[in-house]
């Protein structure tokens, strides 16, 4: 028979053993748990870049039409005559004073001959009247003629001389009509339209030709009333015609009024080379243009780093432990593959570039280096 032992000492000994065992096993268990926890794997491999200060050229884009600098309307200055010859056609380049069309001259020449005869008759009558007046004046001392009769002869001579002047003016008018039978170009330029038809009898003032003076064209850009204040006379402009031809011009003047319907103002741009024969620019052609307004410094990031989500622009800033944070920015001008950041980013931040479009806030990434891109010429930007 085994002698009985008190229970309280046994229980105390068991508890003490458990505490000692736990003290020795706890470090080992914690080490085992640490070794077993899986490491955080990068979600994506990205390249990073820091924002850079860059000089950005300012530009303002607009649409408009290429039009004639000035047009001249050439019409008939006399009426009732038959159009005999038309010497030019649409597209012809003419010089100042060149004959463009002629009217039949027979009727006018007959009127000139009649006017000359009337002048000769008036001159003969005037000569006789002057002779009578001179004889009357010579008889004044003798008393053979009364004072009233002498005055009549003198008045008759003056009246006859007035008839001569009237006949001479009539002859000059007929000679001017003969000159008007030739339609001449008032200036050099290009014929843009022709309504003259051989054999037609036209009235005075009827338009026969329309001409682009000097062959000069201009671009009339439509600029909003909010932006027109940035445009100055003399600013360089690049105009791209519908054919793709690029034309260089300068602002000649800014329209003094704003269209109440469109709220746009016309800006007139001279295009010196647009009227040349080798140019594809034509009056009435639609064209896009960019006003070059100077340059300004701006903080920029690569365009690939900017992600648009829900109509807002974001970048992903990479922290020291390679964890990314999505940050909303305010984008400004664009210059090639660079985008200006107006707000939301510091110059010392690192932003994800390649692969940024696949990131989400809080992702861990693996950063790799990428060679610096070759320098590219600056391009115009808008704001």
Task: Specify whether 364 is located in the same domain as 378.
Answer: yes
Which domain CATH number covers 91? 2.40.50.100
pLDDT of residue 133: 83
What are the pLDDT digits (tens) for 193-234? Answer: 999 999 999 999 999 999 999 999 999 999 999 999 999 999
What is the average pLDDT across 285-304? Answer: 90
Domain extent for 361: 45-57+296-382
With a cut of 90, say whether residue 35 has pLDDT above it. no
Task: Specify whether 85 is located in the same domain as 109.
Answer: no
With a cut of 60, say whether residue 307 has pLDDT above it. yes
For 126-161, b/e burial (b = at least 16 CB within 10 A) is beebbebbeebeeeeeeeebeeeebeebbebbeebb
pLDDT of residue 334: 83
| Position 38 in a domain | no
| Rounded distance between C-alpha atoms, residue 137 and residue 2, angstroms | 195
Q: How high does pLDDT run on average in the chain?
A: 84
- Highest average pLDDT, of 133-142, 319-328, 333-342, comes from 319-328
Task: Specify whether 144 is located in the same domain as 174.
Answer: yes
pLDDT of residue 295: 82
Identify the sign of the CA torsion 366, 370, 376, 378.
Answer: positive
Please report how many Cα atoms fall inside a 13 Å half-sphere around the Cα of residue 39, on the Cβ side.
Answer: 3
With a cut of 90, say whether residue 239 has pLDDT above it. yes
Cα dist. 19→8, 14, 25 in Å?
Answer: 17, 9, 10
Task: Specify whether 100 is located in the same domain as 192.
Answer: yes
What are the pLDDT digits (tens) for 339-363? Answer: 989 998 988 899 999 988 899 898 8
Which domain CATH number covers 285? 2.40.30.170
Asked which of 179, 202, 237 is the last residue of a domain, the reply is 179
Residue with the bigger pLDDT between 237 and 59: it is 237
Q: Are 72 and 94 in contact (CB under 8 A)?
A: no
| Position 8 in a domain | no
Asked which of 295, 313, 347 is the last residue of a domain, the reply is 295
Q: How many domains does the chain have?
A: 4
What are the pLDDT digits (tens) for 79-137? Answer: 999 999 999 999 899 999 999 999 999 999 999 999 999 999 999 988 988 888 887 87
What is the average pLDDT across 31-51? Answer: 68
| Position 364 in a domain | yes
- Residue 364, C-beta contacts closer than 8 angstroms, at least 6 positions apart: 40, 41, 42, 43, 321, 322, 323, 324
């Amino acid at each position: 028979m085994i002698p009985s032992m008190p229970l309280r000492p046994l229980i105390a000994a068991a508890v003490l053993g458990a505490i000692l065992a736990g003290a020795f096993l706890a470090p080992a268990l914690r080490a085992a748990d640490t070794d077993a926890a899986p490491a955080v794997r990068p979600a994506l491999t990205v390249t990073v870049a820091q924002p850079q200060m860059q000089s950005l050229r300012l530009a303002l884009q607009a649409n408009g039409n290429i039009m004639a600098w000035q047009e001249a309307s050439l019409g008939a200055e006399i009426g009732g005559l038959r159009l005999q010859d038309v010497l030019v056609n649409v597209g012809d380049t003419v010089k100042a004073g060149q004959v463009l069309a002629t009217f039949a001259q027979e009727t006018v020449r007959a009127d000139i001959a009649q006017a000359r005869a009337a002048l000769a008759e008036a001159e003969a009558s005037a000569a006789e009247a002057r002779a009578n007046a001179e004889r009357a004046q010579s008889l004044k001392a003798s008393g053979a003629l009364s004072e009233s009769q002498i005055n009549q002869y003198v008045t008759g001579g003056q009246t006859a001389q007035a008839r001569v002047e009237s006949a001479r003016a009539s002859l000059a008018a007929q000679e001017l009509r003969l000159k008007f039978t030739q339609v001449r170009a008032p200036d050099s330029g290009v014929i843009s339209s022709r309504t003259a038809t051989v054999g037609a009898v036209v009235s005075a003032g009827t338009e026969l030709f329309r001409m682009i003076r000097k062959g000069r064209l201009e671009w009339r850009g439509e600029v909003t009333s909010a932006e027109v204040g940035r445009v100055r006379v003399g600013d360089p402009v690049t105009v791209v015609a519908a054919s793709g031809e690029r034309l260089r011009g300068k602002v000649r003047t800014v329209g003094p009024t704003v269209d109440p319907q469109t709220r746009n103002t016309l800006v007139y741009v001279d295009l010196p080379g647009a009227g040349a024969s080798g140019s594809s620019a034509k009056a009435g052609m639609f064209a896009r243009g960019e006003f070059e307004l100077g340059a300004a410094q701006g903080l920029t990031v690569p365009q690939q780093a900017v992600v648009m989500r829900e109509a807002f622009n974001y970048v992903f800033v990479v922290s020291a432990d390679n964890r990314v944070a999505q940050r909303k920015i305010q984008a400004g001008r664009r210059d090639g593959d660079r985008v200006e950041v107006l707000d939301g980013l510091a110059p010392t931040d690192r932003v994800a570039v390649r692969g940024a479009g696949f990131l989400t806030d809080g992702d861990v990434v693996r950063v790799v280096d990428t060679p610096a891109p070759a320098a590219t010429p600056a391009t115009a930007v808008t704001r």
